[in-house]
Amino acid sequence: MVEALVWISGASSGIGRALADAVPWEGARVIDISRRGSSDLEHVEADLSDPASWTTVARSFERELRAFSGDVAVFVHAAGTLEPVGFAGEVDSDSYARNVVLNSAAPQTLGHSFLAAAREVDARRHLVMLTSGAASSVYAGWSSYGAGKAAVDQWVRNVGAEQDQRGGVRVISIAPGTVDTGMQARIRETSGEDFPKRQKFVDLHEKGELEDPDRVAREVWGLLDRDLENGAVVDLRAPTAASHDKREQRRRQRMGARVEKAQGGPPAREEIGAKFEEEGLRPHSWGNGPQESYEWHSHGYHKVLYCVSGGIVFHTNEGDFELEPGDRLDVEPGTEHAATVGPEGVECLEAAR
């Protein structure tokens, strides 16, 4: 069993909570860094908009990593705020300053503290920052939020290059897309005067096009298995409409899915894990209850999946693929697919290649 130590800032709610629930290592220690905390998670109490609290977090990194002899250590910074939504020069100055500190200074400083504490740790180490499309798009009313995310992305690019030279921590920034969380509810409550693009997000909600936080969380964890450039800034969102140029046509020709049925009876979980190891992949486990389903989506990576127990049907434009224990599914990048879990539920092992 993989021994894992995971910190997640903002794990008491929203995407942070979904990430805590989806941690892929069985038995992992998950530590929530937040003001409120959760009854089922270890908790470091910290108001990250107050720089005085950052020392408490740094001490947690130092204390736990000094004694850590496990396999993987991860810090995911998911905490952030939109408040105050409104135009610079018009909103409350103290609230604006707290936004700047939380969205820009806190992730850089906490990231630095994690790197320092993890420097001599003999384990796989990952530092993950959650970013936003607002880092590169103009949204009047989100000046400090967008600027903070842009700052974090550039920090990740530079620190990834540094860790390639010495340190060895894998550092990435991930934009999860428009996820159905309390932050989205707050956006819909905002006035159009303070946030002129409010209607865009109202429409996404009414059309049911917000991303499911649990699925997004699994995709975020799946990126840790990919051979990404250190310092990569990754957007999980697939394009909403394909262009018709030759490059797009060639890309679509490479899309598809295929199933390899188990031979001679379903292999044991350990045998399936060995198959991933032979390909240099590190899988994570996930499962669902009977008849649960996944909406149509695609990934920017090649997905390798084995059914461990139960059953699931994957739906593609080429047809349906039914997986039973021991069956393997390969899904090429960009392939649209959905899925329906069988009557016994399902457990799968999955990795990105």
Please spell the DSSP secondary structure of 148-192, one letter per residue: HHHHHHHHHHHHHHHHHHTT--EEEEEE--SB-SHHHHHHHHS-T
How far apart are alpha carbons 280 and 6 in whole angstroms? 23
Residue 255's pLDDT band (cuts 50, 70, 90): low
**Both tokens assigned to 255:** 């899309």
Q: Residue 148 in contact with residue 81, Cβ under 8 Å? A: no
The percent of residues above 90 in pLDDT, for the chain, comes to 76
pLDDT surpasses 90 at 31: yes
The arithmetic mean of pLDDT across residues 32-53, rounded, is: 95
Contacts of 131 (CB under 8 A, 6+ apart): 149, 152, 153, 156, 173, 174, 175, 233
Q: Which residue, 65, 62, 45, 57, is CA-closest to 3? A: 65
The arithmetic mean of pLDDT across residues 75-86, rounded, is: 96
The arithmetic mean of pLDDT across residues 280-303, rounded, is: 89
The arithmetic mean of pLDDT across residues 284-307, rounded, is: 90
- For residue 84, whether the previous peptide bond is cis, meaning omega lies within 30 degrees of 0, is yes
Query: Which pLDDT score is estimated for 17?
Result: 96
How far apart are alpha carbons 283 and 306 in whole angstroms? 10
Task: Tell me how crowded residue 347 is: count the other CB atoms within 10 A of its CB.
Answer: 17
pLDDT surpasses 60 at 1: no
Q: Residue 20 in contact with residue 46, Cβ under 8 Å? A: no
Structural domains in the chain, sorted by start: 4-235 (3.40.50.720), 246-352 (2.60.120.10)
The arithmetic mean of pLDDT across residues 166-195, rounded, is: 93
The arithmetic mean of pLDDT across residues 6-15, rounded, is: 95
Query: Which pLDDT score is estimated for 245?
Result: 36
Task: Tell me how crowded residue 115 is: count the other CB atoms within 10 A of its CB.
Answer: 19
DSSP 211: B
Tens digits of residue pLDDT in 86-141: 999 999 999 999 999 999 999 999 999 999 999 999 999 999 999 998 998 899 99
